[in-house]
Amino acid sequence: MENGPVVRDADRDDVMAVCRFGEEHVRAHYAPLIGEEEAARQVRMWWNATNIAGAVARGSVVVAEDGGRLAGVGQRGLDGGEHVIRKLYAHPRHHGLASRLLEVLIGRLPADFERVYAEHLVADERAGAFFEREGFTVERIEPDADPRLGVVRRVRDR
């Protein structure tokens, strides 16, 4: 029997719980890095019910549940023909869960994929260190007028 959170595909009954996870955990994660106002804006933009429901309907979201509560969320998508990890967040008390979520997301990619990309804000150095440990290298940095909001694009070969 598996200990800890169970990782599974999200379904439509998970949409509001995923939105709440973003509001509670993702916003708190980003506020010290990019400011409360910008963190709130990011959550409104990316963790709203319309965006989450669409991604769930496409089969692009996985969740980790622990005792009936969400412990983590991962989302993949396409950018042109490139596979991209869009969201990857785990509650800090669940050490190693982000790696499990990442591997489940990668496991959902087509068998013939050649590489997978991940993106994170420049200000999120913890995300950068995580993706480096997971074998991703920096492909490019897309600057922003606010340097904290630049996007680091990373790549990992199959």
Domains, the chain, in order of start with CATH, read 6-157 (3.40.630.30)
**How many Å apart are CA 65 and CA 5, to the nearest integer?**
5
Q: Residue 1 pLDDT > 60, yes or no?
A: no
Element (H, E) at 116: strand 115-121
Greater confidence, 4 or 115? 115
Residue 92 pLDDT: 87
Give the pLDDT confidence of 70-105 residue by residue, as tens digits: 999 999 999 999 999 999 999 989 989 999 999 999
The count of C-alpha atoms lying within 13 angstroms of the C-alpha of 110, restricted to the half-sphere facing its C-beta, is 10
Q: Residue 35 pLDDT > 50, yes or no?
A: yes
Residue type, 18: V
Residue 24 pLDDT: 94
Residue 105 pLDDT: 97
Average pLDDT value for the chain: 95
Q: Residue 2 pLDDT > 60, yes or no?
A: no
Q: Residue 19 pLDDT > 90, yes or no?
A: yes
Residue 4 pLDDT: 83
3-state SS record for 32-78: HHHCHHHHHHHHHHHCCHHHHHHHHHCCCEEEEEECCEEEEEEEEEE
